[in-house]
Amino acid sequence: MPCVRARNVVNRGGVSTVPLGWPLAVLLIVLMGAAATVTRFAGLGRPRGVITAAARAAAQLAAVSLVIGVVLRSLWMTAVFLTLMVAVAAATSARRITGSLCPRSWWTGAAILIGLIHTLGAIMVSGVVPIEPIAILPTAGILIGER
């Protein structure tokens, strides 16, 4: 099957991204409206909740994108960001397991760290993932999120 190239895809250094612009904004608004409409007519709740959740999600993703854009400029900033990700994952796991964040519940962080360090270390030492922030952050994020 021949390779089909998507139109209007920006290619920077071999990385393809979705172009930001009016077509994307209109598509997202249409999809949000469709979700709100289904919610209303299916009796699943208030459509306003869907719209509020979508707006909040868009704002959160924009904020995280800005932070990640800065973090990826440096290996050290990437390491600090990954440390924050591990802390958040450990707290989330601790609350799910014990129902609180008592000192004993922080052992979940040790479990996450042990799995992350060994797996990410093996991946990086093997050369499968280059030691570059743009490669380390998503790989580590997947490993942290899986725990």
Residue ranges of the chain with per-residue pLDDT less than 50? 1-6, 8-11
pLDDT tens profile 12-43 = 555 557 788 899 999 999 999 999 999 999 99
Please give the pLDDT value at position 13: 56
Residues composing the chain: 147
Domain ranges within the chain, ordered by starting residue: 10-69, 72-145
Read off the tokens for 65: 């994108």
Residues ≥6 apart with Cβ < 8 Å to 36:
47, 48, 50, 51
Rounded Cα distance, 46 and 41, in Å: 10
What does pTM read for this prediction? 0.70
